[in-house]
Amino acid sequence: MAEIGKDIAKAAKYLTEGELVAIPTETVYGLAGNALDERAVLKIFKTKDRPEFDPLIIHLGKKSQLMDYVQDVPEELAALGERFWPGPLTLLLPKKDIIPDLVTSGLDTVGVRVPRHPLTRKLLQQLNFPLAAPSANPFGYISPTRARHVQDQLGDKINYILDGGDCEVGLESTIVGMEQGQVIVYRLGGISVADIEDAVGKVLILPQSSSNPKSPGMLKSHYAPKKPVYLGDLDELMEKFGRKGIVFAVLSFTRAFADLPDSLQLALSADGNYDEAARNLFSYMRLLDASDAEVILAQELPEIHLGKAINDRLRRAAAK
């Protein structure tokens, strides 16, 4: 079982080595890993046994670190950060390339917050990378608000739980962003809408307010490339679009096609490695979206290991 303690140096060592650590925040306990390390991020999804890849929030130790990871901050959101950070507020902002696509599920925006819990702030300030940290519970379970909850649910899957006592808020952070000049609340949480409106005026609350910024639960076709994606048997799809004279690109699991230019085909993992396939998924979709193809053809993976999560994203990409 995981060791429970207050040793920040030990937690930092595990995280620097690419391992996961449960951390306390004022909202709930998070399952934390190096947000800049795709392998560590992948461990988060595997440890939580998530059937899909949802965007993750990155956690910073100081407000001054924000511009290291995002391109710009609208005036209204900057005002919210000044007022409510550190605290249970997540801002959805355009990311810099240093943030892996796996963290944002291929989106151009990343959720960022500066947690208020003193133990985790000290930990973050010792690290030279931000932490991706969704709630430290298996998929579908109740979010943990004390170290023992994490031990009961994930204690056999991680090495260390940083014990910060009971969470002060006990409710996930409020997620706020902007679209077309309008401040939008994507998820209701630890900061009230009234407090947000007191700072920036009237906001729009999405009726699909959910657990993740730009959550797939909000729109079925989220995460889709600009080019149409068709999902099915690759041989049948290639024959169909070939007959029509439509230029297509192919995203396969392991296969290579001798009669197709390299620029129009990518295999997620030639060796059939699900971890490698997951790491490559979003970047490969971007590459094919930028190709000369008119459409992208893809196949589902076997529904084992991370195949379920990969298939979830492929289905969403093909939904529109």
pLDDT in tens, 50-88: 888 889 999 999 999 999 999 999 999 999 999 999 999
Residues 144 and 248 in one domain: no
Residues 126 and 267 in one domain: no
Q: What is the mean pLDDT of residues 189-213?
A: 81
Per the domain annotation, does 207 fall within a domain? no
pLDDT of residue 224: 67
Confidence of residue 320 (pLDDT cuts 50, 70, 90): low
Q: What is the mean pLDDT of residues 238-249?
A: 97
pLDDT tens-digit profile of 32-53?
Answer: 999 999 999 999 999 998 888 8
Residue 276 is classified by DSSP as H
Q: Taking 60 as the threshold, does the pLDDT of residue 222 lie above it?
A: no
Per the domain annotation, does 215 fall within a domain? no
Q: Taking 70 as the threshold, does the pLDDT of residue 162 lie above it?
A: yes
Residues 162 and 233 in one domain: no
pLDDT of residue 219: 41
Confidence of residue 226 (pLDDT cuts 50, 70, 90): confident
- Kindly report which listed range (140-144, 150-154, 178-182) carries the lowest average pLDDT score: 140-144
Per the domain annotation, does 294 fall within a domain? yes
- AA identity, residue 237: L
pLDDT of residue 2: 96
Provide the CATH number for the domain around residue 252. Answer: 3.40.50.11030
Range of the domain at 268: 229-318
121, 144, 171 - which closes a domain: 171
Q: Taking 50 as the threshold, does the pLDDT of residue 221 lie above it?
A: no
Residues 31 and 139 in one domain: yes
Q: Which of 201, 205, 135 is nearest to 176 (CA)?
A: 205
- AA identity, residue 111: G
Q: How many domains does the chain have?
A: 2
Residues 16 and 126 in one domain: yes
C-alpha atoms less than 13 angstroms from C-alpha of 62 in its C-beta half-sphere = 10
pLDDT of residue 52: 82
Residues 13 and 139 in one domain: yes
Put residue 35 in one of left, alpha, beta given phi > 0 → left and psi -120 to 50 → alpha.
alpha
Per the domain annotation, does 180 fall within a domain? no
Average pLDDT across the chain, whole number: 92
Residues 16 and 164 in one domain: yes
Indicate the angle between helix axes 38-48 and 274-289, nearest 10 degrees.
120
Residues 26 and 116 in one domain: yes
Dist. CA 7–CA 138, nearest whole Å: 24
Q: What is the mean pLDDT of residues 294-307?
A: 94
